[in-house]
Amino acid sequence: MSFRVQICPLFLFLLLLLFVGPTSAAETYLGLGISARLERETESRDTVDAIVPYFFEAGVGEGKWRFMGELLYYNDKTSESFVEIELTHYEMNLLGKYHPWREVSSYLPIFGAGIGFIQENVETRIGGEVDRVEGDVEPVFIGSVGFLSTFSESNPIGFGLDIRALYSESFDPEVEFDIGGRINFIF
Amino acid sequence: MKREFRFIIIGILATIVACSPSEKQEKERFRLFWPNSKGDYGFKDIKVHGLKNKNEVRGNHLRVYVNPRVEGDKVIGDRPSAKFVRSKKGVNVPADALSHQMVAAFAHVNRLKKLSSKWLSKKITSPNFILFHKNFSGGDGRKSRNNAHFVSSLDSMVLVPQTKKSKIPTALNAGVIAHEFFHSIFAETIGKLHEEYEKISGFIVWPKENLDSTESDTLVEEYIETEIDDEVLDQIKPDPRDFDPNDLEIRKMNSLMLSSMNEGFADIWGWIYSGDTNYFEKSFPHQSTQRQIKIANRGLIGHGSHLHLVRNFQLRELKTSWYTSGNRYANLVFSVADLYQKGKLLIDDESTKSWKETQVFVASWILETLKDISKEAAIHAQMGKMELFSDGALLYSLLAKLNEEKASESLCKILVGGETFFLNDFPSELDEQCSSVARRVSRRPGRGS
Ligand SMILES: [Zn+2]
């Protein structure tokens, strides 16, 4: 990774600052979610398998716009002929979402786009030896379409569903899909 | 308000630019559980050559399939999808248990092709497939476990699940992979002879199934059960040379000798590739005693010992005798190679040899032996009669390698200190050179020069 990724954390920090302390008109919310990420099975490219990441999100909403940061995690353990591998996946995503028909109905689609950063670690156990390797940070680009129930201070719990396409050079193929559900709380 | 949102948008855009992917790095190194030159395993960053597509674990002449179907001689399966995490050093770390084994087996087979081609001065392209198969069986309905196979009709190495814990899983064991790999060299060298022999003379050298699935239990068991029963065994004459040339027994003996050589030499290939004499034990501790290649010289195959094996072993265990009698060949090759490396092979030559020279010496010796047997068989075929193959070929090809130099006393001790060979086919030159070494068994003259 080059210079651009070196300065990436700085920009992330600045971006997070923008989320801190929104004005009174904006809604600040927290969310919890679970999703199913579709990946090709190792045995066969022609079949897909679902991995289940959990995530936590924090965001601000203003009118038709929503901006959120997400922390996503999953863990995938495999064992075959006494080769044991544990993959730990961390992902931080920043998304902007636009809800063009919010006034009509909250059940009409909301569109989103964003960028994320994936970091994966691998722990391999073979023949009594253990090897832990930290993966490099890989950027991921996200496009999403979904539904989000309206929530406000008077109606502080909301639900959402998102279908996402994720693009990263580290994926095989480079696009993966993810279907996630979330519950949001205004505070 | 609005202003703040503008900031957020600008912030997101700047972050996207700052964090967008940069140029692709070289991705050819893999983190694998890999042996060093002494056969000790550890995690290392290994360059894997010939990998055209790492996720499909595919090269030009090598593909990996998981649980494929087999239709006739064809392997039909989906392309796999191996997963990797790229480390900070740019190394591909297999992200699941199967991916690790697929890449490691690919890396070993590809290396074996390269090295074997170098050792034998001949391009080796087989096998073309590595199959990870949980339902593989020799045809008896029992699923194979804790084993590895080579199926020449499919041009495939077959790796089956391990259920017994061992130090090194089979798919990662360099020596075991090299053992199976050798069967493809054997099948190519001897398999061609088989077809030729069949074509010219109409004789069957040995049951085709035996060759096609060298380690297929059922096929062998069926063959033995239907064709060698106790009654037949009792009729086996003491000296194989007295067999009727058209006798079925000759086919059986040839089959047994070739299968033994196939297994013995394969065990040697495992050693010259891995540099490890104990590789077998690392994956199969429960059956390693008969497979030691580094043991004090215990003499060559005794006169008629194959017959003893046939008699003494339970019929069902006859296959085991391939390994047991094959192990004698392995011991011989190992002991001679050891002398070669120490510079003690010839009377006048005392220069030690490098490991690379030793590998070439051993590999070319084995290939010459196989070629010698092929030639012998081709002559039989031309004459239209069938005779026993001679494992004396192993000594004739060694003699050719000595380049008319005199064998050292240590070599003589190995060659004649034990019992005689299967066919008493001992090169007369060696007989003369080794006249000072006492012989235990009198033998007939060999083929001469
Ligand atoms: Zn074998």
- Per-residue pLDDT tens digits for A22-58: 455 678 889 999 999 999 999 999 999 899 999 999 8
* Confidence check: pLDDT of B95 > 90: yes
Chain B residues inside the 8 Å CB shell of A25: 1
More confident residue, B405 or A166: A166
Residues in chain B with CB shorter than 8 Å from the CB of A135 are: 85-88, 93
**What does residue B156 show for φ and ψ, rounded to 5 degrees?**
-130, 140
**Partner residue opposite B96 with nearest CB, options A44, A85, A139:** A85
Among chain B residues, the shortest Cα distance to A121 is held by: B85
Is residue A115 within 8 A of residue A167, CB to CB? The reply is no
Distance from CA of B203 to the nearest CA of A (A): 43
pLDDT over 90, % of chain A: 58
Q: For A103-108, what is the mean pLDDT?
A: 81
* Whole-number Å distance between alpha carbons of B329 and B445: 21
- Tell me if B12 and A138 make a contact (CB, 8 A cut-off): no
**Percent of chain B's residues with pLDDT above 90:** 36
> CATH top-level class for A3-21+35-186?
mainly beta
Output the six-digit token pair for A86: 């544990």
Mean of per-residue pLDDT scores for chain B: 75
**B47 has pLDDT over 70:** yes
Nearest CA in chain B to A97: B9
Distances in Å between the Cα of B212 and the Cα atoms of B170, B218, B406 are: 22, 13, 40
Contact B186, B121 (CB under 8 A): no
Work out the pLDDT band at B385, boundaries 50, 70, 90. Answer: low
Of residues B403 and A136, more confidently modeled? A136
Q: Output the CA B253–ligand 1 centroid distance in Å.
A: 18
* A23 C-alpha to ligand 1 centroid (Å): 75
Type of residue at B319: K
B7/A18 Cα distance (integer angstroms):
7
Query: Are β-strands B74-76 and B148-151 bridged in parallel, bridged antiparallel, or unpaired?
Result: unpaired
What element of type H or E holds B9?
helix B2-19
Which of these, B277, B261, B276, lies nearest to B326 by C-alpha position?
B261
User: A128 to chain B nearest CA, in Å?
Assistant: 8
Q: What is the mean pLDDT of residues B355-381?
A: 88
Please give, rounded to a whole number of angstroms, the shortest distance from the CA of B88 to a CA of chain A.
5
Strand order across the beta sheet in which B156-159 lies: B63-66, B129-132, B156-159, B148-151
To the nearest 10 degrees (0 to 180), the angle between helices B318-342 and B248-274 is 50
Where b means 16+ CB within 10 Å and e means fewer, B309-347 reads bbeeeeeeebbebbbbbbbbbbbbbbbbbbbbbeebbbe
Query: For residue B255, what is the enclosing H or E element?
Result: helix B248-274
Residue B140 C-alpha from the chain's centroid: 24
Point out the least confidently predicted range of A117-126, B130-139, B432-441.
B432-441
Q: Which residues pair with B92 in a beta bridge?
A: B30, B86
Ordered alpha helix ranges (H), chain A:
3-19
Nearest CA in chain B to A89: B85
Poorest-pLDDT segment among A80-94, A137-151, B68-82, B222-236:
B222-236
Residue B290 amino acid letter: Q
Strands annotated E in B141-200: 148-151, 156-159
Determine the pLDDT at residue A60. 86
pLDDT (0 to 100) of residue B80: 96
3-state secondary structure of A75: strand
- Over the range A52-73, which residues count as b (16 or more CB within 10 Å of their CB) and which as e? ebebebbbbbbeebbbbbbebe
Residue B149's DSSP bridge partners are B158
Can you tell me the distance from the alpha carbon of A71 to that of A167, in angstroms, rounded to the nearest whole number?
Answer: 17
Q: Are B41 and B109 in contact (CB under 8 A)?
A: no
Q: What's the gap in Å between B107 CA and the centre of ligand 1?
A: 20
Provide the pLDDT for residue B19: 61
- Does B275 score more than 70 pLDDT? yes
Instruction: Kindly determine whether residue A62 and residue B165, on different chains, have CB atoms separated by under 8 Å.
Output: no
Measured distance CA(B211)–CA(B191) in Å, rounded: 8
Q: How far apart are CA B173 and CA B105, in angstroms?
A: 8
- Return the structure tokens found at B20: 């967008």
Identify the CA nearest to B314 among candidates B221, B217, B422, B237.
B221
Residue B97 banded pLDDT, cuts 50, 70, 90: very high
Distance CA A13, CA A5 (A): 13
Alpha helices for B78-96 (secondary structure H): none
Percent with pLDDT over 70 in chain A = 87
Residues of chain B contacting residue A97, judged by C-beta atoms under 8 Å apart: none
Cis amide leading into A173 (omega within 30): yes
What pLDDT, on the 0 to 100 scale, is given for residue B284?
85
CB contact under 8 A, B97 and A18: no
Compute the radius of gyration of chain A from its Cα atoms. Answer: 18
- What six digits make up the tokens of B227? 């064709």
Of A1, A83, A135, the CB nearest to B85: A135
Strand partners of residue A183: A32, A159
- Nearest alpha carbon to residue B149 among B171, B166, B125: B171
Please tell me the predicted confidence (pLDDT) of residue B117.
Answer: 95
> Rounded to an integer, what distance in angstroms lies between the CA atom of residue B372 and that of residue B394?
8
Q: Which residues of B touch A4 (CB under 8 A)?
A: 17-20, 22
Q: How far is CA B328 from CA B273, B285, B419, in A?
A: 20, 20, 11
Structure confidence at residue B353 (pLDDT): 94
In the predicted structure, residue B440 carries a pLDDT above the cut 50: no
Widest distance between CA atoms in chain A: 61
Say if residue B308 is exposed, middle or buried (CB neighbours under 10 Å; 0-12, 13-18, 19+).
Answer: middle
Instruction: Fill in the amino acid letter for B43.
Output: F
Rounded to whole angstroms, how far apart are CA atoms B155 and B126? 7
Question: Poorest-confidence range of B44-48, B142-146, B225-229?
Answer: B225-229
Over 90: is that where the pLDDT of A9 sits?
A: no
pLDDT digits (tens, 9 = 90+) for B156-178: 999 999 998 888 999 999 999 99
Kind plus residue range of the DSSP H or E element containing A90: strand A83-98
Confidence of residue B197 (pLDDT cuts 50, 70, 90): very low
Sketch the domain layout of chain A as residue ranges: 3-21+35-186
Q: Do B162 and A4 touch (CB under 8 A)?
A: no
Partners of residue B27 in chain A, C-beta under 8 Å = none
Residue B153 near residue B72 (C-beta atoms within 8 A):
no
Going by the DSSP 8-state scheme, the letter that residue B316 receives in this structure is: G
Chain B residues whose beta carbon lies within 8 Å of the beta carbon of residue A38:
none
Q: How confident is the model at residue B374 (pLDDT cuts 50, 70, 90)?
A: confident
